[in-house]
């Protein structure tokens, strides 16, 4: 088999996420975006160490499984992979993919785990609550289009006006906005030349209330196609008129009663970034407000333009209910739960009623502010949210968890954060993963450090796409065997004196772990002033003490760094003596 050659073959199976496995004679070729049972024509792109990769050229014969309904964009749009299959077949494929990946790593653990299959989305169609449509053209120099990127292309955009994974309001808004701008001689932003005006259309809709948030994303460049003379000097009035027309055409939909929902807000976002991402340099509210509220499992969440929130509200309820079930009973109202990679705090707030304290850690500051606000709105007072990288924040936290919940991004947990999480030694960990290949990589590390997987389940949050969520319950391994020893206590031959047992127990009793918080409280109570964590760490380093409680990269002071005064050094040394550290 050589690069550039064309072959025919039948797809035997599809591995995660969308890798069709095709047998060509004795050779195996990976062909993305193919389906089990299809007979295809493929072109070989790469051959390396006996492994070949190819691209799908043509489906010669459909799979016998392809009996599902499709939309007119299927195969062109890069969004859906399994749309031509019945939903049950798609669930079967995803379940097999996740189970195969888990079995590959969990064969290393002695005890078997419970596989609970896959839970489907309550809605297979019209389930998405957020879409980011792109402006462009479907072919070079073609008419204006608005939708999703064409499969395999970074530049071409397919107008997805019959998309099946959103409801009728999304399709109506897309058609209306595209129709308006198609008649205005306006330019779109070329991703190669970075010239043009229209970039994206962001649409969000609350699944429970039907409120809709629409944001038009443009550059600050001259909006219209230019003649040879270039742009006029005073074109701002024309730009304002263009944006006013955009707002007016949307509001007309609501006034005519053609929308199922209603507009919470219409926004204009200016973004001059070179990257093809939806972000804001400036946001203008054209109508209403910048947010709406979504309801999930009895809790209320404020959703703004860039808030992180699961894109399938109905599926999210299944996912979070499963996580709550895996957490189980914590065994007391004094228990502390760490929710790492907490996003807008959805999981943390669901755990709050059964925990004494929940601490969420999230690197996106806007998400943390939203989490604090949502917890306050839901009347939850035992949730604390910290903005920062999990890798660094774990070094600064003085609280110790009784339970840890992990919901990392697609790439999984940072390799340097894993040992810090494992070092807490909590009895149980619930890991929620949106990418099973990252999950199994991290599970290998957990298994090597004394944990085992008790049970796992897949949850379909993204029908018709190649993505799937997985929830795993990890627990510390128990000894395989126990040894029973008969001991008699008392005085006399062969008996163990009780006073000796008590003395021995006292000698070997583990010392209470001294935290920076305890040292700071002792100093404030005795000396009447406060000392910073960084000062304590500096004194400990000077004394040559181990720094496992706080690494050298301790929290920096908010003001220019100063060293502790002699008075504070003596107070810190006194505290270290008081707690038996020196």
pLDDT band at 388 (very low <50, low <70, confident <90, very high): very high
Least confident of 27-36, 265-274, 430-439, 488-497: 488-497
Q: Does the structure show a pLDDT above 60 at 482? A: no
Question: What is the predicted pLDDT for the residue at 557?
Answer: 41
H-state helical runs in 449-515: 498-508
**Torsion over CA: 388, 394, 399, 400 (sign):** positive
**Torsion over CA: 373, 378, 384, 389 (sign):** negative
Sheet holding 211-218, edge to edge: 157-159, 144-149, 130-137, 198-205, 211-218, 262-270, 282-288
3-state DSSP assignment of residue 284: strand
Question: What is the predicted pLDDT for the residue at 533?
Answer: 84
Question: What is the predicted pLDDT for the residue at 484?
Answer: 57
The residue-averaged pLDDT of 1-28 equals: 90
Is residue 185 in some structural domain? yes
The residue-averaged pLDDT of 332-337 equals: 84
Same domain for 135 and 50, yes or no, is no
| C-beta separation of 182 from 144 below 8 A | yes
Residue 318: Cβ within 10 Å count? 18
**Torsion over CA: 556, 558, 559, 564 (sign):** negative
| C-beta separation of 165 from 79 below 8 A | yes
Residue with tokens 């807008």: 344
Is residue 76 in some structural domain? no
| C-beta separation of 473 from 322 below 8 A | no
pLDDT band at 505 (very low <50, low <70, confident <90, very high): low
Is residue 482 in some structural domain? no
| C-beta separation of 561 from 496 below 8 A | no
3-state SS of 365-392?
Answer: HHHHHHHHHHHHHCCCCCEEEEECCHHH
Region class of 486: left (phi > 0), else alpha (psi between -120 and 50), else beta: beta
Same domain for 140 and 287, yes or no, is yes
Cα 337 from Cα 351, distance rounded (Å): 8
Nearest to 121 by CA among 99, 94, 96, 148: 94
Question: What is the predicted pLDDT for the residue at 242?
Answer: 96
Cα 141 from Cα 138, distance rounded (Å): 9
pLDDT band at 451 (very low <50, low <70, confident <90, very high): very high
The residue-averaged pLDDT of 239-260 equals: 95
Question: What is the predicted pLDDT for the residue at 500?
Answer: 62
Q: In DSSP terms, which residues pair with 263 in a beta bridge?
A: 212
* Count of residues making up the chain: 582
Question: What is the predicted pLDDT for the residue at 540?
Answer: 85
pLDDT band at 308 (very low <50, low <70, confident <90, very high): confident
Residues 89-115: tens digit of each pLDDT: 999 999 999 999 999 999 888 889 999
pLDDT band at 253 (very low <50, low <70, confident <90, very high): very high
Question: Looking at residue 352, what DSSP letter applies?
Answer: G
Give the percent of the chain with pLDDT over 70: 90
Same domain for 134 and 116, yes or no, is no
Least confident of 135-144, 237-246, 288-297, 364-373: 135-144
The residue-averaged pLDDT of 350-365 equals: 91
CATH of the domain at 353: 3.40.50.150
Question: What is the predicted pLDDT for the residue at 558?
Answer: 41
Same domain for 406 and 376, yes or no, is yes
Catalytic-residue membership of 249: no
3-state DSSP assignment of residue 125: coil
533-542 helix and 566-578 helix, angle to the nearest 10 degrees: 80
Tell which of 247, 262, 296 closes a domain: 296
Is residue 435 in some structural domain? yes
User: At 170, phi and psi to the nearest 5?
Assistant: -60, -45
Is residue 171 in some structural domain? yes
In 479-563, beta strands by DSSP E: none
Residues 392-412: tens digit of each pLDDT: 999 999 999 999 999 999 899
User: At 173, phi and psi to the nearest 5?
Assistant: -65, -45
Question: What is the predicted pLDDT for the residue at 555?
Answer: 40
Q: What is the domain count for the chain?
A: 4
Same domain for 314 and 441, yes or no, is yes
CATH of the domain at 208: 2.40.50.1070
Cα angle 132, 137, 140 (rounded to 5 degrees) comes to 145
- Residue 501 CB-half CA count within 13 A: 9
| C-beta separation of 70 from 82 below 8 A | no
Same domain for 164 and 241, yes or no, is yes
Using DSSP bridges, classify how beta strands 39-48 and 51-61 pair: parallel, antiparallel or unpaired: antiparallel
Same domain for 539 and 402, yes or no, is no
- Residue 62 CB-half CA count within 13 A: 9
Cα 380 from Cα 383, distance rounded (Å): 7
The residue-averaged pLDDT of 264-286 equals: 93
The residue-averaged pLDDT of 282-301 equals: 93
Is residue 244 in some structural domain? yes
Sorted by sequence, the CB contacts under 8 Å of residue 32 that are 6+ apart come out as: 18, 19, 20, 55, 56
Tell which of 476, 503, 538 closes a domain: 476
pLDDT band at 364 (very low <50, low <70, confident <90, very high): confident
Same domain for 31 and 118, yes or no, is no
Cα 426 from Cα 420, distance rounded (Å): 12
| C-beta separation of 558 from 534 below 8 A | no
Cα 470 from Cα 458, distance rounded (Å): 4
Question: What is the predicted pLDDT for the residue at 501?
Answer: 55
Q: Does the structure show a pLDDT above 70 at 499? A: no
Same domain for 237 and 357, yes or no, is no
Q: Does the structure show a pLDDT above 90 at 249? A: yes
The residue-averaged pLDDT of 152-168 equals: 90
Q: Does the structure show a pLDDT above 80 at 333? A: no
Cα 189 from Cα 271, distance rounded (Å): 11
Cα angle 133, 134, 135 (rounded to 5 degrees) comes to 130
Is residue 349 in some structural domain? yes
| C-beta separation of 119 from 460 below 8 A | yes
Residues 518-571: tens digit of each pLDDT: 898 888 888 888 888 888 888 887 887 765 444 333 444 444 456 889 889 999
Give the percent of the chain with pLDDT over 90: 63
Question: Looking at residue 332, what DSSP letter applies?
Answer: S
User: At 181, phi and psi to the nearest 5?
Assistant: -75, -25
Question: Looking at residue 413, what DSSP letter applies?
Answer: S
Residues 416-438: tens digit of each pLDDT: 999 999 999 999 999 999 999 99
Question: What is the predicted pLDDT for the residue at 549?
Answer: 43
The more confident residue out of 374 and 486 is 374
What domain range is 185 assigned to?
A: 130-296
Question: What is the predicted pLDDT for the residue at 2?
Answer: 84
Same domain for 421 and 543, yes or no, is no
Same domain for 401 and 450, yes or no, is yes
- Dihedral of the alpha carbons of 446, 400, 557, 537, in degrees to the nearest 10: -90
Tell which of 235, 263, 296 closes a domain: 296
Least confident of 233-242, 279-288, 517-526, 543-552: 543-552
Computed over every residue of the chain, the mean pLDDT equals 88
Nearest to 323 by CA among 116, 103, 463, 109: 116
Is residue 21 in some structural domain? yes
Cα 407 from Cα 339, distance rounded (Å): 8
Question: What is the predicted pLDDT for the residue at 554?
Answer: 40
Question: What is the predicted pLDDT for the residue at 503?
Answer: 62
pLDDT band at 504 (very low <50, low <70, confident <90, very high): low
The pTM (predicted TM-score) of the whole model is 0.77
In 312-436, beta strands by DSSP E: 336-340, 357-362, 383-387, 403-406, 428-433
Residue 55: Cβ within 10 Å count? 15
Q: Does the structure show a pLDDT above 80 at 13? A: yes
Greatest alpha-carbon span in the chain = 112
Same domain for 113 and 140, yes or no, is no
Question: What is the predicted pLDDT for the residue at 349?
Answer: 93
pLDDT band at 495 (very low <50, low <70, confident <90, very high): low
């Amino acid at each position: 088999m050589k690069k550039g050659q064309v072959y025919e073959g039948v797809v035997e199976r599809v591995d995660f996420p969308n890798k069709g496995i095709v047998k060509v004679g004795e050779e195996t070729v990976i062909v993305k975006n193919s389906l089990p049972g299809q007979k295809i024509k493929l072109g070989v792109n790469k051959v390396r160490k006996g492994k070949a990769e190819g691209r799908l050229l043509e489906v010669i014969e459909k799979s016998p499984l392809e009996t599902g309904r499709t939309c007119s964009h299927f195969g062109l749009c890069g969004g859906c992979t399994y749309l031509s299959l019945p939903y049950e077949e798609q669930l079967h494929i995803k379940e097999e993919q996740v189970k195969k990946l888990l079995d590959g790593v969990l064969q290393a653990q002695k005890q078997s785990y419970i596989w609970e299959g896959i839970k489907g989305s309550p809605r297979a169609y019209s389930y998405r609550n957020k879409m980011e449509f792109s402006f462009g053209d479907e072919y070079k120099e073609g008419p204006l289009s608005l939708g999703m990127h064409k499969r395999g292309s970074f530049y071409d955009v397919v107008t997805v006006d019959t998309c099946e994974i959103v409801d009728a309001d999304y399709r109506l808004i897309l058609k209306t906005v595209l129709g308006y701008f198609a008649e205005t001689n306006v330019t779109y932003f070329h991703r190669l030349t970075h010239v043009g005006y229209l970039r994206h259309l962001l649409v969000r809709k609350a699944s429970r209330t039907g409120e809709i948030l629409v944001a038009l994303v443009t550059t600050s460049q001259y909006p219209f196609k230019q003649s040879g003379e270039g742009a006029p000097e005073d074109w701002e009035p024309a730009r304002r008129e263009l944006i006013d027309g955009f707002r007016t055409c949307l509001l007309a939909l609501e006034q005519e009663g053609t929308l199922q929902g209603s507009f919470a807000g219409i926004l204009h976002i200016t973004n001059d970034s070179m990257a093809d991402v939806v972000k804001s340099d400036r946001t203008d509210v054209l109508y209403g407000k910048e947010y709406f509220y979504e309801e999930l499992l009895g809790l209320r969440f404020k959703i703004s333009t860039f808030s992180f929130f699961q894109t399938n509200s109905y599926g999210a309820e299944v996912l979070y209910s499963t996580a709550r079930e895996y957490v189980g009973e914590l065994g007391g109202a004094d228990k502390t739960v760490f929710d790492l990679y907490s996003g807008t705090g959805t999981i943390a707030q669901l755990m709050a009623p059964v925990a004494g304290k929940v601490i969420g850690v999230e690197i996106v500051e806007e998400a943390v502010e939203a989490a604090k606000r949502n917890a306050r709105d839901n009347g939850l007072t035992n949730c604390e949210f910290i903005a920062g990288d999990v890798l660094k924040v774990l070094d600064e936290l003085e609280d110790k968890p009784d339970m840890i919940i992990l919901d990392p991004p697609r790439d999984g947990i940072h390799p340097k954060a894993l040992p810090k999480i494992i070092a807490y030694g909590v009895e149980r960990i619930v890991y929620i993963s949106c990418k099973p290949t990252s999950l199994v990589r991290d599970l290998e590390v957990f298994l090597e450090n004394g944990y085992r997987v008790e049970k796992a389940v897949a949850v379909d949050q993204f029908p018709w796409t190649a993505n799937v969520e997985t929830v795993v319950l990890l627990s510390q391994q128990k000894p395989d065997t126990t040894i029973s020893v008969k001991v008699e206590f008392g005085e006399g031959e062969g008996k163990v004196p009780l006073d000796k047992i008590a003395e021995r127990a006292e000698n070997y009793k583990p010392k209470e772990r001294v935290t920076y918080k305890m040292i700071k409280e002792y100093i404030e109570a005795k000396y009447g002033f406060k000392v910073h964590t960084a000062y304590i760490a500096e004194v400990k380093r000077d004394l040559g003490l181990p720094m496992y409680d706080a690494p050298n990269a301790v929290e920096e002071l908010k003001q220019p760094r100063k060293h502790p005064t002699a008075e504070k050094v003596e107070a810190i040394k006194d505290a270290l003596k008081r707690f038996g550290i020196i």
